[in-house]
Amino acid sequence: MTRIAAIELFLVELPLVRPFRTSFGETVTKRCVLVRVEADDAEGWGECVADDRPDFSGEFNEGAWIAIRDFLAPLVLDAGDADAARAELALRALRGNRMAKAALIDAVLDAALRARGVSLAGWLGAARHRVECGVSVGIAATTDALLEQVDGYLADGYRRIKLKIEPGTDVERVRAVRAAHPDILLSVDANAAYRLDDAEVFRAMDDADLLMIEQPLHHEDFAQHAALQGQIETDVCLDESIRSAADATAALDLGACRIVNIKQGRVGGILEAKRIHDHCLTRGAPVWCGGMLETGVGRAQNLALAALPGFTLPGDTSASSRYFPDDLTEPFEMAPDGTMAVPSGAGIGVTPRPDRLAACTSRREIIRRGARAAKE
Ligand code: SMG
Ligand code: MG
């Protein structure tokens, strides 16, 4: 078993090709913490999906940096071996911080698989070499601007359009997109912007033949999601509410959703994401792979996961060009048929290009066993 020698953190920032607006805010520049695990005979990469502000979740970049540097990385270093299951177990001593934990666990797994020359997709039990791509369309300034963006993404080949929605423009925009494109796979994502009292909005969407309504209500409320699901025909999908396999089980048991958005970075890493997948597959609940505007590192991890058999719906696994003028890794490209290749190289199959990483990095720190090294 290969041993972990050091853990290196990078704070990176990349401009987006266009601002991405949701019901809780706007992202103009992607910023995130990358983790590099240095093992005896391989390195491994992980990406923390937190943003600058604790808006999508309670985690945020500066907090994740401190959590990893001061609490999580020392536990992984003490565990010693590049063994993701052991790292995950060691990290159970500390609560929450799932996005920070995911970056570490995924990086350890990547190092272990690279050392053995095994691909992440193969190790997970991938059922396919290509996955279907959807795209998440941010809230536009006007309905016309939205329709134009949707046209562009459909021309690119995307197989499912997801509209971010917010109160005020929701039903009008959904109807406009549906009228323009009667046959596409179409879904909406509210990012918890509504209350159960707003059920009328979602009843009004029932005739738009949506694939699902993602995270309509408060992220901590399964009971109200179950009540809403009972009042509408369209399937409810949960995103923010699902932090673990236990959450997914509870949500399905309670009827709070019928579909689960799996983001490995949100649930504490690929191992927990696989458990959610396995559970949902057993009970016949469709899952799909969500996105957090990841760089090529997180994208590679998502693609491997999305290749599992239970991922029966197109994910938010879009091409690098949908996000960045210049990704950190070699760009992920989507074929005109709306599919993308799952990386087949060892581990996650990609690494940040050194020159690009250097250009995007605003802070860097190495953590070694026993003591923290000085900042670089
Ligand atoms: O990676 O394409 C992507 C973004 C997909 O809509 C997306 N993500 O709630 O599902 C979601 C959002 C969360 C990120 S908002 C910055
Ligand atoms: Mg979502």
The 10s digit of each residue's pLDDT in 112-163 is: 999 999 999 999 999 999 999 999 999 999 999 999 999 999 999 999 999 9
Pocket probe mutation, ligand 1, options 14, 24, 136, max atoms within 8 Å of Cβ: 136
> Tokens 């760089």 correspond to what residue?
295
Check 101, 164, 274, 375 and give the catalytic one: 164
Which ligand neighbours the alpha carbon of 318 most closely? 1
What does pTM read for this prediction? 0.97
Ligand 1 atom, smallest distance to 293 CA: 1
Residue 130 shares a structural domain with residue 266: yes
Give me the domain span that covers residue 311. 121-341
**Shared domain check, 160 and 99:** no
The answer on 307 and 366 residing in a single domain is no
Catalytic residue, candidates 101, 263, 274, 375: 263
In a domain, 18, yes or no: yes
Q: Are residues 143 and 58 in the same domain?
A: no
Q: Please tell me the predicted confidence (pLDDT) of residue 91.
A: 98
- d(CA 30, CA 58) in angstroms, rounded, equals 17
Clarify whether 263 is annotated catalytic.
yes
Q: How far is the CA of 110 from the centre of ligand 2 (A)?
A: 26
Same structural domain, 164 and 56:
no
CATH number at residue 45: 3.30.390.10
Q: Which residues surround ligand 2, an ion (CB under 5 A)?
A: 189, 214, 239
What is the rounded average pLDDT of the residues 329-339? 98
| Spatial distance between the Cα atoms of 237 and 306, rounded to a whole number of angstroms | 17
CA of 44 relative to ligand 2 center, distance in Å: 27
The confidence band for 371, taking pLDDT boundaries of 50, 70 and 90, is low
